[in-house]
Amino acid sequence: MLHRFFIFLVSFWFASNFCFADTPFVERPDVREFIQKMAHEHGFNKTQLKNLFSKIKLRPQVIQHIKKPLEKNPWNTYQMLFVNEWRIEHGVKFWRKYADALKKAEKVYGVPPAIIVATIGIETKYGQKTGEYRVLDSLANLAFNTSRSPFFKKELAEFLLLTREQHLDPLKVMGSYAGAIGQPQFMPSSYRAYAVNFSGSGKIDLMNDEVDVIGSIANYYKKNGWKKNSPVAIPAKILGNRYEYLQRKNKISQAMPSYELAKYGIVPQYQFDHNIRKVKVIQLQNHYNNEYWLGFHNFDVIRRYNPNDLYAMAVYQLSAYIVAVKERLNHG
Protein backbone atom coordinates (compact mmCIF):
# COMPACT_ATOMS: atom_id res chain seq x y z
CA MET A 1 0.00 0.00 0.00
CA LEU A 2 2.80 2.38 0.91
CA HIS A 3 4.56 1.55 -2.35
CA ARG A 4 1.42 2.42 -4.34
CA PHE A 5 1.01 5.65 -2.41
CA PHE A 6 4.61 6.62 -3.22
CA ILE A 7 4.01 5.94 -6.93
CA PHE A 8 0.88 8.09 -6.73
CA LEU A 9 2.82 10.96 -5.14
CA VAL A 10 5.55 10.80 -7.76
CA SER A 11 2.97 10.68 -10.56
CA PHE A 12 1.11 13.63 -9.06
CA TRP A 13 4.34 15.65 -8.76
CA PHE A 14 5.25 15.11 -12.40
CA ALA A 15 1.71 15.87 -13.51
CA SER A 16 1.53 19.09 -11.51
CA ASN A 17 4.99 20.33 -12.49
CA PHE A 18 4.91 19.31 -16.14
CA CYS A 19 1.21 19.43 -16.83
CA PHE A 20 1.88 21.05 -20.19
CA ALA A 21 4.66 18.65 -21.20
CA ASP A 22 2.38 16.84 -23.66
CA THR A 23 0.94 20.09 -24.97
CA PRO A 24 2.93 22.04 -27.55
CA PHE A 25 4.39 25.04 -25.76
CA VAL A 26 2.79 27.48 -28.14
CA GLU A 27 -0.70 26.04 -27.47
CA ARG A 28 -0.66 26.74 -23.75
CA PRO A 29 -3.30 29.32 -22.77
CA ASP A 30 -0.82 31.46 -20.83
CA VAL A 31 1.61 31.45 -23.76
CA ARG A 32 -1.12 32.37 -26.23
CA GLU A 33 -2.18 35.20 -23.92
CA PHE A 34 1.42 36.46 -23.82
CA ILE A 35 1.66 36.36 -27.64
CA GLN A 36 -1.60 38.28 -27.92
CA LYS A 37 -0.29 40.90 -25.49
CA MET A 38 2.98 41.33 -27.41
CA ALA A 39 1.05 41.75 -30.64
CA HIS A 40 -1.39 44.26 -29.13
CA GLU A 41 1.08 46.34 -27.09
CA HIS A 42 4.22 46.18 -29.23
CA GLY A 43 3.02 45.47 -32.75
CA PHE A 44 4.50 42.00 -33.14
CA ASN A 45 3.07 39.72 -35.81
CA LYS A 46 1.09 36.98 -34.04
CA THR A 47 1.77 34.38 -36.71
CA GLN A 48 5.50 35.02 -36.54
CA LEU A 49 5.49 34.84 -32.75
CA LYS A 50 3.54 31.58 -32.78
CA ASN A 51 6.06 30.15 -35.19
CA LEU A 52 8.91 31.34 -32.96
CA PHE A 53 7.34 29.96 -29.78
CA SER A 54 6.71 26.61 -31.47
CA LYS A 55 10.49 26.17 -31.50
CA ILE A 56 10.98 26.72 -27.76
CA LYS A 57 12.31 23.68 -25.93
CA LEU A 58 11.49 22.60 -22.39
CA ARG A 59 14.57 22.96 -20.18
CA PRO A 60 13.93 21.43 -16.72
CA GLN A 61 17.58 22.06 -15.81
CA VAL A 62 17.00 25.79 -16.12
CA ILE A 63 14.32 25.64 -13.45
CA GLN A 64 16.55 23.54 -11.19
CA HIS A 65 19.39 26.05 -11.52
CA ILE A 66 17.19 28.99 -10.61
CA LYS A 67 16.12 27.20 -7.41
CA LYS A 68 19.74 26.65 -6.33
CA PRO A 69 21.74 29.80 -7.03
CA LEU A 70 25.37 29.93 -5.95
CA GLU A 71 24.50 32.77 -3.59
CA LYS A 72 22.89 30.21 -1.26
CA ASN A 73 26.37 28.91 -0.42
CA PRO A 74 28.24 30.19 2.66
CA TRP A 75 30.65 33.05 2.03
CA ASN A 76 33.84 30.96 2.29
CA THR A 77 32.61 28.64 -0.49
CA TYR A 78 31.41 31.52 -2.67
CA GLN A 79 34.66 33.41 -2.13
CA MET A 80 36.78 30.45 -3.25
CA LEU A 81 34.74 30.21 -6.45
CA PHE A 82 35.01 33.85 -7.44
CA VAL A 83 37.87 35.54 -5.60
CA ASN A 84 40.72 33.28 -6.62
CA GLU A 85 44.17 33.39 -8.16
CA TRP A 86 42.94 32.70 -11.71
CA ARG A 87 40.47 35.56 -11.73
CA ILE A 88 43.02 37.92 -10.17
CA GLU A 89 45.76 37.03 -12.65
CA HIS A 90 43.49 37.24 -15.69
CA GLY A 91 41.93 40.42 -14.34
CA VAL A 92 45.31 42.10 -14.39
CA LYS A 93 45.88 40.87 -17.95
CA PHE A 94 42.45 42.13 -19.03
CA TRP A 95 43.13 45.53 -17.48
CA ARG A 96 46.44 45.85 -19.27
CA LYS A 97 44.96 44.80 -22.59
CA TYR A 98 42.05 47.25 -22.40
CA ALA A 99 43.72 49.99 -20.35
CA ASP A 100 42.70 52.80 -22.73
CA ALA A 101 39.02 51.81 -22.78
CA LEU A 102 38.97 51.41 -18.99
CA LYS A 103 40.60 54.80 -18.52
CA LYS A 104 38.07 56.39 -20.86
CA ALA A 105 35.17 54.69 -19.04
CA GLU A 106 36.42 56.01 -15.70
CA LYS A 107 36.63 59.52 -17.15
CA VAL A 108 33.14 59.36 -18.71
CA TYR A 109 31.27 57.48 -15.96
CA GLY A 110 33.45 57.85 -12.85
CA VAL A 111 33.62 54.09 -12.22
CA PRO A 112 37.06 52.65 -11.30
CA PRO A 113 38.60 50.23 -13.82
CA ALA A 114 39.05 47.56 -11.15
CA ILE A 115 35.30 47.42 -10.42
CA ILE A 116 34.52 47.06 -14.13
CA VAL A 117 37.18 44.37 -14.60
CA ALA A 118 36.11 42.44 -11.50
CA THR A 119 32.48 42.48 -12.64
CA ILE A 120 33.42 40.92 -15.99
CA GLY A 121 35.66 38.43 -14.21
CA ILE A 122 32.92 37.23 -11.90
CA GLU A 123 30.14 37.28 -14.48
CA THR A 124 31.86 35.43 -17.34
CA LYS A 125 35.54 34.83 -16.51
CA TYR A 126 36.47 37.72 -18.81
CA GLY A 127 34.24 36.54 -21.62
CA GLN A 128 35.14 32.85 -21.48
CA LYS A 129 31.75 31.67 -20.16
CA THR A 130 28.87 33.69 -21.53
CA GLY A 131 26.27 30.92 -21.32
CA GLU A 132 25.27 27.74 -23.09
CA TYR A 133 21.50 28.11 -23.22
CA ARG A 134 19.35 29.76 -25.84
CA VAL A 135 18.07 32.87 -24.09
CA LEU A 136 14.62 32.36 -25.59
CA ASP A 137 14.40 28.86 -24.06
CA SER A 138 15.63 30.02 -20.65
CA LEU A 139 13.29 32.98 -20.37
CA ALA A 140 10.26 31.12 -21.69
CA ASN A 141 10.76 28.20 -19.31
CA LEU A 142 11.16 30.54 -16.35
CA ALA A 143 8.32 32.82 -17.45
CA PHE A 144 5.73 30.08 -17.63
CA ASN A 145 6.92 27.41 -15.19
CA THR A 146 8.12 29.16 -12.02
CA SER A 147 6.84 31.28 -9.15
CA ARG A 148 8.85 34.21 -10.54
CA SER A 149 6.67 34.29 -13.64
CA PRO A 150 5.96 38.07 -13.63
CA PHE A 151 9.65 38.98 -13.60
CA PHE A 152 10.62 36.55 -16.35
CA LYS A 153 7.60 37.39 -18.52
CA LYS A 154 8.78 40.99 -18.39
CA GLU A 155 12.29 39.92 -19.36
CA LEU A 156 10.95 37.72 -22.15
CA ALA A 157 9.06 40.71 -23.55
CA GLU A 158 12.21 42.83 -23.23
CA PHE A 159 14.19 40.14 -25.05
CA LEU A 160 11.81 40.10 -27.99
CA LEU A 161 11.97 43.90 -28.18
CA LEU A 162 15.76 43.77 -27.94
CA THR A 163 16.16 41.26 -30.76
CA ARG A 164 13.84 43.32 -32.95
CA GLU A 165 15.74 46.55 -32.21
CA GLN A 166 19.20 45.01 -32.64
CA HIS A 167 18.21 42.84 -35.64
CA LEU A 168 19.20 39.65 -33.81
CA ASP A 169 17.88 36.16 -34.44
CA PRO A 170 16.09 35.27 -31.16
CA LEU A 171 16.85 31.60 -31.72
CA LYS A 172 20.59 32.20 -31.90
CA VAL A 173 21.21 34.46 -28.91
CA MET A 174 22.92 32.41 -26.20
CA GLY A 175 23.14 33.20 -22.50
CA SER A 176 22.88 31.92 -18.96
CA TYR A 177 20.21 29.67 -17.47
CA ALA A 178 18.54 32.85 -16.18
CA GLY A 179 18.53 34.52 -19.59
CA ALA A 180 21.48 36.87 -19.02
CA ILE A 181 23.32 37.94 -22.17
CA GLY A 182 26.90 38.61 -23.18
CA GLN A 183 30.12 39.25 -21.27
CA PRO A 184 28.43 41.52 -18.71
CA GLN A 185 25.50 39.09 -18.34
CA PHE A 186 22.86 41.77 -18.74
CA MET A 187 19.25 40.73 -18.49
CA PRO A 188 17.35 41.93 -21.59
CA SER A 189 15.86 44.93 -19.75
CA SER A 190 19.34 46.01 -18.62
CA TYR A 191 20.72 45.45 -22.11
CA ARG A 192 18.12 47.81 -23.55
CA ALA A 193 18.56 50.38 -20.76
CA TYR A 194 22.33 50.47 -20.25
CA ALA A 195 24.22 48.92 -23.18
CA VAL A 196 26.26 51.48 -25.14
CA ASN A 197 28.34 51.38 -28.31
CA PHE A 198 31.46 52.53 -26.46
CA SER A 199 33.77 51.35 -29.25
CA GLY A 200 32.08 53.58 -31.82
CA SER A 201 31.64 50.69 -34.25
CA GLY A 202 28.04 51.68 -34.96
CA LYS A 203 26.53 48.56 -33.38
CA ILE A 204 26.31 47.46 -29.75
CA ASP A 205 27.96 44.07 -29.26
CA LEU A 206 28.14 42.75 -25.70
CA MET A 207 29.20 39.30 -26.85
CA ASN A 208 32.43 40.07 -28.70
CA ASP A 209 33.30 43.75 -28.30
CA GLU A 210 35.09 44.19 -24.96
CA VAL A 211 35.12 47.96 -25.32
CA ASP A 212 31.32 47.99 -25.55
CA VAL A 213 31.24 45.66 -22.53
CA ILE A 214 33.46 48.00 -20.50
CA GLY A 215 31.44 51.10 -21.36
CA SER A 216 28.11 49.37 -20.76
CA ILE A 217 29.05 48.11 -17.29
CA ALA A 218 30.37 51.56 -16.35
CA ASN A 219 27.15 53.11 -17.65
CA TYR A 220 25.11 50.61 -15.63
CA TYR A 221 26.86 51.49 -12.40
CA LYS A 222 26.76 55.22 -13.09
CA LYS A 223 23.03 55.25 -13.83
CA ASN A 224 22.38 53.20 -10.71
CA GLY A 225 24.01 55.84 -8.56
CA TRP A 226 27.75 55.12 -8.41
CA LYS A 227 29.55 57.87 -6.47
CA LYS A 228 32.99 58.72 -7.80
CA ASN A 229 35.87 58.48 -5.30
CA SER A 230 33.57 57.04 -2.65
CA PRO A 231 34.37 53.83 -0.72
CA VAL A 232 32.66 50.48 -1.15
CA ALA A 233 33.26 48.55 2.08
CA ILE A 234 35.71 48.21 4.99
CA PRO A 235 36.24 45.40 7.52
CA ALA A 236 34.49 45.73 10.87
CA LYS A 237 35.01 44.20 14.27
CA ILE A 238 32.51 43.26 16.94
CA LEU A 239 33.04 44.34 20.55
CA GLY A 240 31.07 42.38 23.14
CA ASN A 241 27.65 40.95 22.37
CA ARG A 242 25.47 44.03 22.12
CA TYR A 243 25.18 43.47 18.35
CA GLU A 244 22.96 40.46 19.12
CA TYR A 245 20.15 42.91 19.87
CA LEU A 246 20.23 44.05 16.23
CA GLN A 247 20.18 40.44 15.10
CA ARG A 248 17.16 39.63 17.25
CA LYS A 249 15.34 42.67 15.89
CA ASN A 250 16.41 41.74 12.33
CA LYS A 251 18.14 45.12 11.97
CA ILE A 252 21.71 43.90 11.53
CA SER A 253 21.80 44.86 7.84
CA GLN A 254 19.80 48.07 8.20
CA ALA A 255 21.76 51.18 7.19
CA MET A 256 22.36 53.62 10.03
CA PRO A 257 24.93 56.20 11.17
CA SER A 258 28.26 54.72 12.24
CA TYR A 259 27.93 56.21 15.73
CA GLU A 260 24.68 54.26 16.16
CA LEU A 261 26.42 51.03 15.18
CA ALA A 262 29.20 51.82 17.64
CA LYS A 263 26.61 51.76 20.43
CA TYR A 264 26.09 48.09 19.61
CA GLY A 265 29.81 47.31 19.51
CA ILE A 266 30.14 47.34 15.71
CA VAL A 267 33.13 49.46 14.75
CA PRO A 268 35.35 49.83 11.66
CA GLN A 269 38.78 48.24 11.74
CA TYR A 270 40.18 51.54 10.47
CA GLN A 271 38.85 55.06 10.22
CA PHE A 272 36.83 56.44 7.32
CA ASP A 273 35.27 59.74 6.35
CA HIS A 274 32.56 60.34 8.94
CA ASN A 275 30.77 62.70 6.57
CA ILE A 276 29.36 59.48 5.14
CA ARG A 277 25.94 59.53 6.71
CA LYS A 278 24.95 55.88 6.80
CA VAL A 279 26.60 52.49 6.61
CA LYS A 280 25.24 48.98 6.85
CA VAL A 281 26.61 45.86 8.46
CA ILE A 282 27.50 43.03 6.09
CA GLN A 283 27.47 39.67 7.84
CA LEU A 284 29.19 36.86 5.94
CA GLN A 285 28.94 33.24 7.02
CA ASN A 286 32.18 31.25 7.20
CA HIS A 287 32.91 27.72 8.44
CA TYR A 288 33.00 28.41 12.17
CA ASN A 289 32.06 32.05 12.61
CA ASN A 290 30.84 35.15 10.85
CA GLU A 291 32.86 37.84 9.10
CA TYR A 292 31.71 41.45 9.39
CA TRP A 293 32.14 44.43 7.08
CA LEU A 294 30.65 47.89 6.79
CA GLY A 295 29.08 48.63 3.44
CA PHE A 296 28.69 52.11 1.94
CA HIS A 297 26.51 53.51 -0.81
CA ASN A 298 28.61 52.04 -3.62
CA PHE A 299 28.28 48.57 -2.11
CA ASP A 300 24.53 48.82 -2.65
CA VAL A 301 25.11 50.08 -6.19
CA ILE A 302 26.99 46.83 -6.92
CA ARG A 303 24.03 44.97 -5.44
CA ARG A 304 21.86 46.50 -8.15
CA TYR A 305 23.76 44.23 -10.53
CA ASN A 306 22.98 41.19 -8.37
CA PRO A 307 20.96 41.82 -5.18
CA ASN A 308 23.11 39.74 -2.86
CA ASP A 309 25.78 40.71 -0.34
CA LEU A 310 27.99 37.78 -1.37
CA TYR A 311 28.06 38.93 -4.98
CA ALA A 312 28.81 42.56 -4.14
CA MET A 313 31.55 41.56 -1.70
CA ALA A 314 33.11 39.23 -4.28
CA VAL A 315 33.21 42.05 -6.85
CA TYR A 316 34.77 44.40 -4.31
CA GLN A 317 37.36 41.96 -2.99
CA LEU A 318 38.34 40.75 -6.46
CA SER A 319 38.77 44.37 -7.57
CA ALA A 320 40.99 45.10 -4.56
CA TYR A 321 43.21 42.08 -5.23
CA ILE A 322 43.50 42.99 -8.92
CA VAL A 323 44.61 46.52 -7.98
CA ALA A 324 47.15 45.19 -5.47
CA VAL A 325 48.68 42.66 -7.86
CA LYS A 326 48.76 45.12 -10.76
CA GLU A 327 50.53 47.73 -8.62
CA ARG A 328 53.02 45.17 -7.33
CA LEU A 329 53.85 44.08 -10.86
CA ASN A 330 54.19 47.68 -12.01
CA HIS A 331 56.72 48.35 -9.26
CA GLY A 332 58.40 44.97 -9.46
Q: How far apart are the C-alpha atoms of 90 and 207, rounded to whole Å? A: 18
User: Is 260 designated active site?
Assistant: no
Q: How far apart are the C-alpha atoms of 74 and 80, rounded to whole Å? A: 10
- Distance between first and last Cα of the chain: 74
Q: Which has the closest alpha carbon to 169: 6, 48, 10, 33? A: 48
Residue 141, judged by CB atoms within 10 A of its CB (0-12, 13-18, 19+), counts as buried
| Residue of 123, 155, 158, 210 with catalytic role | 123
Q: How far apart are the C-alpha atoms of 220 and 313, rounded to whole Å? A: 18
Q: How far apart are the C-alpha atoms of 36 and 46, rounded to whole Å? A: 7
Residue type, 149: S
**Cross-strand pairs, 266:** 238
Instruction: List the catalytic residues.
Output: 123
